[in-house]
Amino acid sequence: MTTTHTGPRAGRRQWLGLAVLALPTLLIAMDMTVLHLAVPALTADLAPTGTELLWITDSYGFLIAGTLITMGTLGDRIGRRRLLLIGSAAFGVASVLAAFSPTALTLILSRALLGVAGATLMPSTLSLIRTLFTHPRQRTLAVSVWMTCFAAGTALGPVVGGILLHQFWWGSVFLLGVPVMALLLATGPFLLPETRGERAAGLDLISVLLSLTAVLTAVYGIKHLAEHGPTGTSLVWLATGGVLGVVFVRRQRTLTHPLLDLGLFRNTTFTASLLAQTVTVFAMSGVMFFQGQYLQLVLGLSPLDAGLWMLPAVAAGVV
C-alpha cells in the first residue's frame, strides 16, 4: 500500500473485505421487502390471522430497530468482527427456521430472530469499513458502496422474491441468507480486522429492556386497536408503551453514557431528516404491504410480474 499525508490507501485485501461486507448489507435490506409478494402464498399455507400476518411482516424490522443501538454498543465491547460472525451464524440459522416454519407463530419468532441477527450486522459492517479504509476519499467511496447496497437491496427485494416465488414455495425467499452468511463466515476471519471501541461504555441493560418493550407494547396496542377497535385492552397496551417510552427518555438524560444520546435531536437538520425518513418509511411500508397482494389477488398477476410492477415505486422511494 502507498501512503499519503491523508492516510494509507487501501489495497486488494481491503476491497475484497468491502465486497464481503456489502453482501450481508444487501441481504438485510432485501429481507425487509422480499416477503411482501409471498404474503398470499404463506397465507394460504399457514392461515394466519390478520394480526399474525402483520407480525410476520413487521417483527423483522421492529427487532432490528429495537436492538440496533444495543448491538452497536455490544460490538464496541466484544469486538466488531466477532459480533459480525456471531450474527451471521444466527442469521443463517434463523433463515432456515423461517423458510420451513410450520405455523404462523413459528414464522413470527423466526423473523424476530432474523431481526436481532440483522441488528448485529449493520453497525458492525459500517464500523469495519471505517477501519479498513483510512484514506478519506476511499472511505467516502466505500461508505457510498455500503449505502448503495442497502438501497439496492430494498429495490431488488420484490423482484428477487417474484423470481423465487415463480419457481419455488414461499419459504425460498428466506434461503437467500444461507449462502451469503456462509461466505461471510468463511472469509471474514481472513479479510476483516478485529476492532473494539477505544472507550467502550458499559451496556445499560435496563435501557435496552425499556427501549425494546416500549416499542413492542405500543405496536401491539396499535395492532390490537386495528383488529378489535378501541377496547380497554388496546388502550392499556398503548398507554403502557407510552409510559415505558417516557421512562426510557428520562433515564437517558441521567446516564453518563446513555444508550441513545438525546442531544442529537437538538440538531434541527438531524431531526428534520429523521422525521422525513420516518414518514417516508411509514408510507412505503403500508403501500407495499397491500400492493403485493392487490397485484396478485385482484389483478391476477404472477409473483414475478407483480415484483416487476413494484420495482418503479420502490426505486423512486430509494431515490
Residue from 230, 181, 197, 186 nearest 23 by CA: 181
State the pLDDT at residue 52. 83
Q: Is 52 left (phi over 0), alpha (psi -120 to 50) or beta?
A: alpha
CATH no. for 12-199 = 1.20.1250.20
DSSP H helix total and E strand total for the chain: 11, 2
CA dihedral sign of residues 198, 81, 122, 112: negative
Helix, coil or strand: residue 6: coil
Please report the DSSP string for 43-58 in residue order. Answer: HHHH---HHHHHHHHH
State the pLDDT at residue 10. 63
Q: Grid coordinates 422511494 are at which residue?
A: 317
State the pLDDT at residue 2. 45
State the pLDDT at residue 100. 92
State the pLDDT at residue 12. 72
State the pLDDT at residue 189. 83
Q: Which residues contact 165 (CB under 8 A, 6 or more apart)?
A: 37, 38, 41, 172, 173, 303, 304
Residues 284 and 317: beta-carbon distance below 8 Å: yes
4 φ, ψ to 5°? -125, 175
Report how far Cα 187 is from the mean position of its chain's Cα atoms. 23
Residues in the chain predicted with pLDDT less than 50, given as ranges, are: 1-4
Across-strand partners of 7? 4
Helical packing angle, 104-132 and 12-33, nearest 10°: 150
State the pLDDT at residue 1. 46
Residues 121 and 75: beta-carbon distance below 8 Å: no
Residue from 19, 36, 310 nearest 173 by CA: 36
Rg of the chain over all Cα atoms, to the nearest angstrom: 20
Residue from 29, 26, 20 nearest 183 by CA: 20
State the pLDDT at residue 197. 63
Domains of the chain, residue spans? 12-199
